[in-house]
Homo-oligomer: A and B are copies of this chain.
Amino acid sequence: MRPVEERPAASPYGRLDTATHEYVISRPDTPTPWLNYLGQGGYGGIISNTAGGFSFDRDPRERRVTRYRYNAIPADQPGRYVYVRDQETGRFWSPSWQPVKRDVEGYECRHGPGYTRIRSALDGIESELLYFVPPGNADGSCPCELWVFRIRNAGPTARRLRAFSYAEFGYFDAVSDQQNLDWSQHIVSSGREDSVILASTRFRPTTSFLGASEPPVGWTGDREDFVGRCRDLASPIVVETGEPTNSGSPRGNEIGSLCHDFELGPGEERGLVYVLGLTDHPEEIAAVVARYREQAEVERAFEELRADWSAYLGRFAVATPDPEMTEMLSVWNQVQCRTTLNWSRFVSGYETGLGRGMGTRDSAQDTLGTMHSLPEQARRTLTRTWGLQFRDGHAWHQLFPLSGEGGPGLAAEFPTWPQWFSDDHLWLVLATCAYLRETGDLAYLEERVPWADGDDETVWGHMRRAIEFTLANRGPHGLPRAWFADWDDTLNINHGSGKAESVWCAMQFCRTVLDLAELCRHTGRFAEAVRFRDLHTEMAGLVNAVAWDGSWYARAFDDDGMPIGVAGEDRHRINLNPQTWSVIGEVAPRDRAEQALRSADQHLATPFGTALLWPPYDGGDERVRGTSTYPPGAKENGGIFCHANTWLIIAAAMLGRGDDAYVHYRRILPLARTDADLFRAEPYVCSQNICGPAHPQFGMARNAWLTGTAAWAFVAATQWILGIRPTFDGLRVAPVIPTSWPGFEARREFRGVTHEIRARREGPAGAVSLVVDGRPVQGTVVPLPPPGTTTVRVEVVVS
């Protein structure tokens, strides 16, 4: 393993502002576009620190508003741009730096929850753009976003300035927009009505629009007219000349470029609000734009947004001795959790919004990070996702949110391979149990949800059917069969013999039946509770009998029935997941559990997290297929999969190893990575993976924002390190904190009651005792308080 250079104390690109919880980016040239999300699952989009990105209404494939050119040169274009032009000198620039890239002064981008604010100055002119989606639009009605532009003359003389907006509309169907140029370039046209530019076809009402709070002095609706032949967005002809064309686009490429003049005396400041949106009711557009002519309405909308996020974030807050961990758990990890719940893996800097819908297991796991804050949305998500389960118990892998249609996901590209995964349906059970523990909403078990192949069943029936599917489809060792893959999409070991089995999935099954047994005991289904415990004993016994390799657990059995992830192999001798889940699934006896985690540490640990497997494949390997398409150290082929690292944190905590759990957490804590030129990704959110030690870019993160890491990192830290986890009987507080910590404080909503938790360490061991509202309680569960209670105080002593 290569040595890791000392990390710098501070990132050269930005810092967290602990007063506002904004991430403040101080240079435009970040190693990758550092993104934020606007909107809440309805109208929304991505925005980078230089205003790059695009917008869509609910579904980025079917209802795209603006274009974004992924992996293009120049990078991170187009976006939500305003050009400012000095009418005296003809000099022009972009307050967001892109796309003109002039050397502005005082550049600063502040990403906050649901909004982004970018400001800079040039030649004595200060300007700022604040971007957000008014929260009233979350339901999809009147969908739009606001660009609040402010411009100020900081100099001593009067100035004449002209501003040009730039929003590049695409055809709503993003695949046609990219592939069927002959058609899509002919059918959309643009025009102007009052202070609004509209783009639409003649055969659907769907209309994109960009309006402004002040009447423009001119406009341009055609991209080629605006940019000019053989030019680019750094120097569009309209901006260079200062002359809008005052004409729309009959076909080709439509844009929204409104032109406004600002005559500013010394110290004078002016504002302008742009309204960008998409609607099937074009008759409503004028009213939508008119609404935001009122400054007060814009401020009200922004306050509403802030209040919405405050309410969301207010249900969990923490203060720990680790400031980065404190900030992540209190703000950005929760922001990311909500984002994954809203948009699954659909749109990011890496996911283009074209191919993938919402993931079945993705959405199920995404609810885990928001159970405490958005239980109703979690319930709706689970219900929708249960609707993807077939009567035999397996589930579609994916859901297209607008149509509600399910699909096999990646497996569709390999139609002769199995079209479902080993684990999708079990995640749904686990997430539903988590929902029930959080809310106590046992009536949910009786809700009827359709099967994907007709008829319906209660949620409880769906849950049982999931277990039956796994039981009915086992391989020669009695372990769950490998289908297209299990959690690891790239471990494609089922080639038709019926012998391929997933050891990891057996462990996932063990955790699932334990959760069900607990649920059954709580709901009085005692016989079923016994059966689920027995299933656990049986499956755990099988795993221990066939999958223990001496120092760790094997990962799987291949299509010939031979073990994968064992010491005798050249490649992939050890895999992280069966070690962590031998603990999480309560499969391993104590000695094996400790040995398994020691082995993982010995073979897989790195300063940037723990690799998924070792040694990586070096070239295609037919046994595992997908994994071996990656070069050594990338993604599933020996990369550091952050999602899998969160389970290592949990496993260590479950074994009472607080120091280990914390070390594992810190290694993948993005705010702790100040070596931004190596890490590259946004430091305020988790990435899906980090290149592993076998990769030349060891330490580089990829696939930020939309990853199961978000929810699981939150669960690992809050429920297992801090130990604050819901049970049917009350909130458990059982910290497994590092020995160096003197304690922590947390505020946690649970079933409508604010739990004010103060933990302090009084000794080096891990024993925990609780005092609730001044009275000692037995065990580590805070009893459910009497109805009407709003707050309980929990004093925790770790000794």
- Residue among A202, A620, A695 having the largest count of chain B Cβ atoms under 10 Å: A202
Interface membership of A321, Cβ < 8 A:
no
Q: B232 contacts A74, CB within 8 Å? A: yes
Residue of B nearest to A186 (CB): B634
Q: A186-B635, A229-B31 are in contact. Are A181 and B251 (CB under 8 A)?
A: no
User: Contacts A74-B231, A182-B702 known; A203 to B250 CB distance under 8 Å?
Assistant: no
Cross-chain contact B629 with A183 (CB below 8 angstroms)? yes
Chain B contacts for A232, CB-based, 8 A:
73-74, 232
How far does the Cβ of A64 sit from chain B's closest Cβ, in whole Å?
14
Mark the stretch among A349-357, A377-385, A577-585 that contacts chain B.
A349-357
B350 A182 Cβ-Cβ under 8 A: yes
**Interface flags, A607-643, vs B, CB<8A=1, else 0:** 0000000000011100000001111001100000000
B181 and A350 form a contact (CB under 8 A): yes
How many identical subunits does the complex contain? 2
Provide the residues of chain B in CB contact with A187, threshold 8 Å. 629-631, 634
Which residues of B lie under 8 Å from residue A630 when comparing CB positions? 186-187
A739 in the interface (beta carbon within 8 A):
no
Known contacts A202-B620, A232-B73, A695-B250; is-contact A179 B355 (Cβ 8 Å): yes
A758 at the interface (CB under 8 A from B): no
Whether B203 lies near A251 (C-beta < 8 A) is no
In the assembly, what is the distance between CA of A251 and CA of B695, in Å? 10
Return the chain B residue nearest A183 by Cβ.
B629
Closest to A203 in B: B620
Indicate whether A29 sits within 8 Å of B202 (C-beta atoms), given known contacts A179-B354, A631-B186: no
A352 and B251: CB pair below 8 A? Answer: no
Chain B, residue nearest A628 (CB):
B203
- A78 close to chain B: CB less than 8 A: yes
A75-B230 in contact (CB<8A): yes
Chain A contact-residue range equals 35 or more
Interface centre among A251, A628, A630 (most CB of B within 10 A): A251
User: Is B182's CB under 8 angstroms from A703's CB?
Assistant: yes
Cα A279 to Cα B582 with chains together (Å): 46
A2-39 toward B: CB 8 Å interface, digit per residue (1/0)? 00000000000000000000000000110100000000
Interface residues of A, dominant DSSP:
loop
Q: Is A69 in the interface zone, CB < 8 Å from B?
A: yes
- Check if A251 sits within 8 Å of B634, measured CB to CB: yes
Bound-complex Cα distance A115 to B13 (A): 48
**In the complex, which residues of chain B have a beta carbon less than 8 angstroms from the beta carbon of A352?**
178-179, 181
> Which A residues from 362 to 390 make CB contacts under 8 A with B?
none
When distances are taken between beta carbons in the complex, the residues of chain B under 8 Å from A231 are: 74
> Which of A203, A227, A620 is the most central at the interface, judged by chain B CB atoms within 10 Å of its CB?
A203
A319 to B229, alpha carbons, bound, how many Å? 38
| Chain B residues within an 8 Å CB radius of A227 | 73
Find residues 564-589 in chain A having any chain B CB closer than 8 Å to their own CB: none
How far is it, in angstroms, between the C-alpha of A748 and the C-alpha of B75 when the chains are bound? Answer: 54
Judged by a CB distance under 8 angstroms, whether A253 is at the interface is yes
Q: Are A74 and B629 touching (Cβ within 8 A)?
A: no
User: How far, in whole Å, are A312 and B618 apart by their CA atoms in the complex?
Assistant: 48
Residues of B with C-beta under 8 A to A618: 202
Q: A643 to chain B: closest CB distance in Å?
A: 14
Residue of B nearest to A622 (CB): B203
In the complex, are the beta carbons of A29 and B355 less than 8 A apart?
no
Cα of A69 to Cα of B72 in the assembled complex, Å: 7
Interface presence of A336 (CB below 8 A): no
- A229 pairs with B629, CB closer than 8 A: no
Q: Are B69 and A202 in contact (CB under 8 A)?
A: no
Q: Is A189 an interface residue (CB 8 A)?
A: yes
Do A250 and B69 contact each other (CB < 8 Å), given the known contacts A101-B230, A229-B29, A619-B203? no
Docked pose: A661 CA to B429 CA in angstroms? 74
Residues of B close to A445: CB separation below 8 A: none
Per-position binary interface string of chain A over residues 382-406, scored 1 when its CB falls under 8 Å from any chain B CB and 0 otherwise:
0000000000000000000000000
A776 at the B interface (CB under 8 A): no
Q: What are 15 A-to-B residue pairs whose CB atoms are below 8 Å? A: A70-B178, A73-B78, A101-B230, A178-B352, A179-B352, A182-B635, A182-B702, A182-B703, A183-B629, A186-B635, A187-B630, A187-B631, A189-B631, A201-B629, A250-B695
Return the 4 tightest CB-CB contacts between A and B, nearest first: A203-B620, A250-B696, A74-B232, A202-B619
Given contacts A29-B230, A71-B253, 20 further A-B contacts (CB under 8 A): A29-B229, A70-B178, A73-B77, A73-B227, A73-B233, A181-B351, A182-B635, A183-B629, A186-B631, A186-B702, A187-B630, A189-B631, A201-B631, A202-B618, A202-B629, A203-B619, A250-B631, A250-B695, A251-B695, A251-B697
